[in-house]
Amino acid sequence: MRFLGLAWWKWMSIVLFVYVITRGLLVPLKPGILNINPSRFQVGQSVEFEIEGYNSFYTKATPRVFFKISDQYLCRADSIEVISETKLKIKHLFHNYLPVNQKIVMASVIVDSEVDGASVMPSKLILSQDSIELEEGIAAWTLDKPAQFNLKHKYHFPFRNILYETIRNTFFHVSLWFGMFALMFGSLYYSYRVLKYSKPEDDLRAYSMVYVAVIFGVLGLMTGSLWARFTWDTWWTNDIKLNMAALSMLIYIAYLILRASIDDPDRRAKITAAYNVFAVVAIIPLIFVLPRLTDSLHPGNGGNPAFGSDDMDNALRTVFYPSVTAFILLGFWMADLWKRVCVLDAQDSLDFD
């Protein structure tokens, strides 16, 4: 089925891209906690510190503030002063003892509001004690009744510490890699057909898919490097997945160089098809296996879980999955267009000769 010369799946990619760009860039993040200053205290003292919120509306409903050491140990702040929509001043007297058998512990801060819902800054406060009295500490850090937190039901993207607004790059950086892999495996199929049937059209399809896959891969590296700059404060790290991704791109760039160096069409088709099979087989351990065997900053590698509730909630999924679909469809569309360009170039060369 075609409309204005475009197949339905091409129109689908356009619609999905419009949806991803508008929804992915305009939906706000949930309220969160940007910073707590200062954040290190000695227990047994009355302390003051400020909490800086993000997308918060503290003046509309005075929030409650809790300090959490574990699921069992929780205490509530003594005094809360609302300074602005995004700032709170906290005054609290920490009990002389902590509920754990340690001299120093990391405590999370929870800000709960009827308007904003519950926001968490994990393991931000550093609390220290000179001596240990577990019974007194447990009593002081145990609420009379379980705390009930407010849930924000509006459609918002999750607020993640360190990521902040850059979480939207998930729709582009990760989706580009999905599109790249779809094209690579598509090229593998046509390379197999070249080796079996020696059809020039299959060779052009395999080449076109690899060409667009390299474009997607380079864009993936660029968006990843930009993401690293704002989250890890560097353009590039010694992360194994980054290095393996760069190595995979070099393997496929070598494919393009090899193809350009062979003049005979039949020989070029056979050699590059065999090389493409090798390339696809090589990137599987480079991208999917090796990063899981060592430490990595990426989710799903080095012991880190893959996209789960902590990284990808339902609000993100409503944009992420359409984005992956859109990039895959766009990739095959671009590959088809590039194949047509190659055919026209070949015809012009024959006409010229």
Question: Nearest CA to 226 among 237, 218, 234?
Answer: 234
Q: What are phi and psi of 352, to 5 degrees?
A: -65, -45
Spatial separation of the C-alpha atoms in residues 20 and 18, rounded to whole Å: 6
Q: What are phi and psi of 3, to 5 degrees?
A: -140, 120
- Provide the whole-model pTM: 0.86
Instruction: Confirm if 48 and 101 have CB atoms less than 8 A apart.
Output: no
Domain ranges of the chain: 32-140, 164-352
Instruction: Confirm if 48 and 91 have CB atoms less than 8 A apart.
Output: yes
Spatial separation of the C-alpha atoms in residues 69 and 81, rounded to whole Å: 23
Q: What are phi and psi of 8, to 5 degrees?
A: -60, -35
Count CA within 13 A, CB hemisphere, residue 269. Answer: 18
Spatial separation of the C-alpha atoms in residues 119 and 138, rounded to whole Å: 24
Tell me what pLDDT residue 141 has.
93
Query: pLDDT for 259-302, tens place per residue?
Result: 999 999 999 999 999 999 999 999 988 888 877 777 766 665 54
Query: pLDDT for 128-173, tens place per residue?
Result: 999 989 989 999 999 878 888 988 767 889 998 888 999 999 999 9
Tell me what pLDDT residue 312 has.
72
Q: Where are the alpha helices (DSSP H) in the chain?
A: 8-26, 134-140, 175-197, 200-231, 240-260, 265-284, 314-352
Q: What is the pLDDT along the chain (353 residues), one digit of tens a residue?
A: 555 557 888 999 999 999 999 999 999 999 999 999 999 999 998 999 999 999 999 999 889 999 999 888 999 999 999 999 999 999 999 999 999 999 999 999 999 999 999 999 999 999 999 998 998 999 999 987 888 898 876 788 999 888 899 999 999 999 999 999 999 999 999 999 999 999 999 999 999 999 999 999 999 999 999 998 988 888 988 888 888 899 999 999 999 999 999 999 999 999 999 999 999 999 988 888 877 777 766 665 544 445 555 567 888 999 999 999 999 999 999 999 999 998 888 775 545 44
Instruction: Confirm if 65 and 48 have CB atoms less than 8 A apart.
Output: no
Q: What secondary structure letter does DSSP report for 159?
A: P
Instruction: Confirm if 279 and 258 have CB atoms less than 8 A apart.
Output: no
What fold is seen in the domain 32-140?
A: Immunoglobulin-like (2.60.40)
Task: Considering only CA atoms, give the Rg of the chain.
Answer: 27
Query: pLDDT for 322-332, tens place per residue?
Result: 999 999 999 99
Instruction: Confirm if 193 and 202 have CB atoms less than 8 A apart.
Output: yes
Distances (CA, A) of 26 to 21, 59, 151, 193, 319: 8, 24, 22, 44, 12
Q: Which residue is listed with tokens 């999917």?
A: 288
